[in-house]
Homo-oligomer: A and B are copies of this chain.
């Protein structure tokens, strides 16, 4: 009953096999290899246009370096107040950006509304050179609340951002989980909707440590090799990170794994709801947020169920926690089984 995070699950056996397969003979380092070239081509195919791909071992690095590359250090990033870049990266975007400012805004269901972004841009496009003004918009897909932006929502946000001169970054640490829920292609919810650069995560989805920074306009990626290297993010035995990403994409495994994780989250949410537990946000990806009364929480933990409590301040305005109750986050992954879910729900029911 391990629902603490999607990074606690290890990797599917295909990942280990991929490393073993790539471990053949001598190959030049630093990305000058066929694995990397093949992955680049595959990325372009996946996104239905020529893209520039840069692999890095952590999602924090992917986000921070991508943002630093599309904006000047005196710019600000409009994001949701619970975005990973805002709350969980120990200031990496500020550091890699040379002192970037992040502007966190509230938004229902963990999403930024068009109105919020318009207001934010209006507020942070003034009083030069005294105020830090907005230079980028960063949205998370799927969000930290487990919800998903629709293609139309993304397009509207991007159009507004671009009209004001902002670039758009998408934190896709759970990009697969979002994609499989939508009747859309990877292109539809990224560059076709206006996204300029994507942090495309494979680690949560099944890789050891593989994240891709994908620039949809390769010209925008000029000098990224230097930025990545200087950020200590260029792996020497680069074939192995390319091989991980290839294995992730091969045979649409990433979509299958994401579908499975989402299905487990759905099942969990339905089970909990049926057990009278309040589910906080729509379950659209592999995350379930629920309110556990104190005794439920205690019972689950006593039985060894693993999950984290989140700040009550994340809760929507209408919801208050009873004394001892917690806002619990459960994350499903490729490794979550129906049995885990069934036992968890049974325990929650009491």
Contact = CB atoms under 8 A, between A and B. Distances in A.
A58 interface: yes
Contacts of A311: 123
Most buried by B among A2, A26, A30, A56: A26
Chain A interface bracket (under 10, 10 to 19, 20 to 34, 35 or more): 35 or more
A26 B5 CA distance: 9
A8 interface: yes
A11 to B, nearest CB: 6
A128 B226 contact: yes
A59 B23 CA distance: 20
Dominant SS at the A interface?
loop
A330 interface: no
A335 B26 contact: yes
A83 B306 CA distance: 42
Contacts of A240: 11, 208-209
Contact of A229 (B16, B19, B60, B87): B60
A96 interface: yes
Given A226-B72, A229-B92, A232-B64, A87 B131 contact: yes
A231 B62 CA distance: 11
Contacts of A182: none
Interface in A61-96: 61-62, 64-65, 72-74, 76, 87-92, 94-96
A91 B74 contact: yes
A296 interface: no
